[in-house]
Structure 1
């Protein structure tokens, strides 16, 4: 358990999950394990107060965070989450997973993350804009295209990134498109960015399925979470011929043994903001979702959803972690014992940060690539990263997660050792 005084002692917290994952990789790091405390201590954590004038003239205060976990390999990179359950500890864990993710894909970034404890659905557009701009100003001293580059996450989108970019640019007196990624295309955004994370889940999932003897067109797929990641992954599996038989979001669980009409469900979700009420599937109780028979299961919502109890109940052969930290360490052990392959989040959902890297590079050069070029580069990087992790897992006789951490942590700690300590 971390010795940090401002974290909880909850063994199921996101930060505790990350620490447990670090502990499991230590035996494979050799003399680099001497530097392991680098991973257990975020470099910088900023808590900010965000006073907001509401449309009715009242003043409310919101709490915001920006955590830079590790910057040894490059500027921080990580999303901004607007959600009512955001905490400092959660943001710390998310920033740490970004550190590992960037290193596992060999991208020249460190890990960072941000968030505001707010339900954005309760704010008007003008309130949301004022909240975003004040938050950006508050964290403006530690972000920048060579310092820390935010991006969209749960509850944020391209419009929020446009407001962040504009606020930062106004504060420094120069348009700086590279301060955020996930922006609108005409403001320096990249083609392919919106679908990148879901596409990465599909690409790594298809490769993993081939390795364990699954044929995607014959697969039954379940998706938990039907936001940007889950809906895109579901659409790609659907187009590849797989049957997406179950989808769950915050509002409902839908099941259809013959396969849900994913394009129709996606249209319905865009119109209504949820899948509840969609006529093309049979509603199930929330817990029944975990007891159906699938080939591929995609958790694409929030962290900590696969508990040991649910790991014992899952009936599938392959888990693709579209969300960050969806599997608790105890559940990881159970899934391995049951011979269920898990493609870990730090590889599986790294499509977003990979195309964010492409966007960052394009902003510096002011030269932009076609969507086909973006997708081709993304697919190649994702497949090569998964191949390297699989080879490491076979060599060490460990899970794909531990293998990914072994590769990533070696890169992070080698950079830390070679840079040395200052002063």
Structure 2
């Protein structure tokens, strides 16, 4: 039967834990968590257990700079849950990263792994720094010291990092090497997103964008739209955004707008995405000055009329201030948390199908799991096999959530939280609480 919002607004789960704050990704996550907790009728103890991170670690990272001066950076690692298996999650380097943000990202990873049936719990890490202002040597020293400070946290059977914002396969290689030197053996499975030569997986770099497109095609099918009859807008042109745009372009969709930090670029007749990618690669990974499309703002880009909108930039891009102006049929969240919780109802009222981040961008953690499995086995798969298995798992996850959506008469996002939380809660009951 349809969900009664009055129960949510006055129910037991409204008060425990943080209340909604549109400026906090963690509190947006908690608002959605409470909704699912009400539907699942979790008791107080289950709610508190699943809402609380298992471990939060904050470390100081002293680094000798090229100048000889010492600078101290702050690093975080949050393990939200490890009921399903070792915790898993990326590490981001950013000047504005906070513990609160990392907590939200770690919890999303828990539900994300549960949704795609990957036997991992959720974790996330971050270092407050501006990597663009650091030399390669400074970046390496920072990474190795951060890893050394996390030796009791990381481990192939405990907690497995991966790349995230402003981190890449080179940084993962430094983490793997630092951990291995301290373990006195090569331990490739301690981290994923590594270079192929160090035990990385084929298809890992494209995995998140490929997963985004897999569920986009599934959503288009549910909406009765053919890919080659659709138009797409992509916000963000990093790894996820550019690959999502490229794969949608290859499916025949007219990609009418793309963007990065320099702004948006719009062409009503469609943008040649391979050409735009080549331009960005030759222009220090920036679209600045791209002349084959009209320059618009990122805010204008979000308001464009299209069939598919893929926000693949940062958190909190769509909120109450602009949700009413969104003019698309389907939103597929390539980024983590691009829609604020208090914008959900506005988009629902407009009839927009939202494929939530904890499903849409789960391709990355799925192939990270494949990489971990391959490292443990010492046997590596072809890219074709990786992609085939990724597509199958992502499509199965979409179908599962769509069934939950119809069963409870709720949105796809609400279905994702209900499915993911129910799986972790059921596993917790089976395992019990060690005392």
The normalised TM-score by structure 2 is 0.94
Equivalent residues of 1:2, 1:40 under 8 A apart: no
Give, in whole Å, the separation in 1 of the partners of 2:103 and 2:15: 12
Structure 2 partner of 1:234:
245
Give, in whole Å, the separation in 2 of the partners of 1:176 and 1:244: 42
Structure 2 partner of 1:19:
30
- Judging changes above 3 Å, is the alpha-carbon distance between structure 1 residues 263 and 33 closer, same or farther for their aligned structure 2 residues? farther
Gaps of 5+ in 1: none
1:140-196 deviations in Å (ceiling 9; x for gaps)? 111100000000000001111000000000011110000000000010000000000
Shift of residue 405, structure 1, vs aligned partner: 1.0
Shift of residue 290, structure 1, vs aligned partner: 2.4
Matched, 1:116 2:127: yes
Matched, 1:379 2:404: no
Give, in whole Å, the separation in 2 of the partners of 1:203 and 1:160: 28
1:301-324 deviations in Å (ceiling 9; x for gaps)? 111111122211110000000011
Residue 278 of structure 1, aligned match among 275, 290, 307? 290
Give, in whole Å, the separation in 2 of the partners of 1:12 and 1:57: 38
Gaps of 5+ in 2: 1-13
Equivalent residues of 1:32, 1:413 under 8 A apart: no
Give, in whole Å, the separation in 1 of the partners of 2:22 and 2:230: 35
Shift of residue 244, structure 1, vs aligned partner: 0.9
Matched, 1:422 2:434: yes
Structure 2 partner of 1:319:
331
Matched, 1:54 2:87: no
- Judging changes above 3 Å, is the alpha-carbon distance between structure 1 residues 9 and 54 closer, same or farther for their aligned structure 2 residues? farther
Q: How many residues align?
A: 421
Structure 2 partner of 1:406:
418
Give, in whole Å, the separation in 2 of the partners of 1:24 and 1:193: 33
Structure 2 partner of 1:181:
192
- Judging changes above 3 Å, is the alpha-carbon distance between structure 1 residues 286 and 30 closer, same or farther for their aligned structure 2 residues? closer
Residue 28 of structure 1, aligned match among 39, 42, 53? 39
Residue 307 of structure 1, aligned match among 300, 304, 319? 319
- Structure 2 counterparts to residues 217-296 of structure 1, below 5 A: 217-272=228-283, 273-296=285-308
Give, in whole Å, the separation in 2 of the partners of 1:31 and 1:322: 30
SS of aligned partner of 2:156: coil
Structure 2 partner of 1:141:
152
SS of aligned partner of 1:265: helix
Structure 2 partner of 1:37:
48
Shift of residue 10, structure 1, vs aligned partner: 3.5
Equivalent residues of 1:247, 1:255 under 8 A apart: yes
Residue 214 of structure 2, aligned match among 200, 203, 206? 203
Residue 82 of structure 1, aligned match among 84, 93, 97? 93
Give, in whole Å, the separation in 1 of the partners of 2:141 and 2:110: 30
Equivalent residues of 1:247, 1:253 under 8 A apart: yes
Give, in whole Å, the separation in 2 of the partners of 1:33 and 1:381: 33
Structure 1 partner of 2:141:
130
Residue 342 of structure 1, aligned match among 348, 354, 363? 354
Shift of residue 228, structure 1, vs aligned partner: 0.5
Shift of residue 237, structure 1, vs aligned partner: 0.4
Equivalent residues of 2:20, 2:28 under 8 A apart: no
Structure 2 partner of 1:98:
109
SS of aligned partner of 2:423: helix
Q: Which moved more, 1:161-170 or 1:247-256?
A: 247-256
SS of aligned partner of 2:328: coil
